[in-house]
Amino acid sequence: MREAPSGRTRSSFMFSSFFQIERVHGVSVLRLWSADGTNRLTSACVLALTRALRELAQSAEPAIIAGNNRFFSAGADLSEIAALAGPAAYAFAQMGQELMRSIEAFPAPVVAAINGYCMGGGLDLALACHRRVASPHAVFGHRGAALGLITGWGGTQRLPRLIGKAKAMEMFLTAEKVRAPEALRIGLADLVAADPVEEASRQLVKILARTDFSLQFE
């Protein structure tokens, strides 16, 4: 970890090859990063995220998971998936499920702040979070059906619970994209805001101030 330059609102940040973590007013902001900007969830990235979240859980501070202006995450690396077979594919699914469980069981609220595309395994990541704030140009989708794939990271369970079986089946089977206004209407997004990280931070500060720690967004 190294100190942020003076004058910035964030107090500190630490980097890995796949993300940076900032701490702002008691909230940890984990920003996904990749050289091509797509923030694909490779096996190495998934393992690093799982380790980081376990460390963050020790402080029991709320957290935000975010991407960049074009991608929250494009999901798993398809070239990596194509090379998997048998036990290796099963292990890859378990690895992703462990990451999602670590988010779901986090001891404080975790909010996905979504700009741009949130696809496949990236959508599974957002679904594992306790709440989702989207920008007006956010795009959601599970495109696996168009490639002959289906997610193994828990999205087949979490998506129907969130938006209902019929709409979830439509998203899975048609591989169509859902844009922010529709995501808000069907309950996939809790809020739409111009700056989802700022709005998520604002909501988490409100949650921390409540005596019952209700996750209701305002």
Which letter does DSSP use for residue 28 in this model? E
Record the pTM.
0.89
Per-residue pLDDT at 211: 57
Strands (E), 42-109: 63-66, 71-73
The verdict on domain 2-209 having CATH code 3.90.226.10 is yes
Q: CA–CA separation, 117 vs 16, rounded Å?
A: 22
Average pLDDT, the chain: 89
Q: Which residues are 132's β-sheet partners? A: 112
Percent of residues in the chain assigned helix, strand, coil, to nearest 5:
40, 20, 40
The burial of 106, by beta-carbon neighbours within 10 Å (0-12 exposed, 13-18 middle, 19 or more buried), is given as buried
Q: CA–CA separation, 31 vs 72, rounded Å?
A: 9
Average pLDDT score over residue span 11-33? 83
More confident residue, 186 or 208: 186
> Does the structure show a pLDDT above 70 at 212?
no
Q: CA–CA separation, 88 vs 60, rounded Å?
A: 33
> Does the structure show a pLDDT above 70 at 202?
yes
13: enclosing H helix or E strand:
strand 12-15
Cα four-point dihedral sign 100, 101, 107, 108: positive
Tell me if residue 136 falls in helix, strand or coil: coil
> For helices 155-163 and 165-174, what crossing angle results, to 10°?
130
Query: What is the pLDDT confidence band of residue 146, given thresholds at 50, 70 and 90?
Result: confident
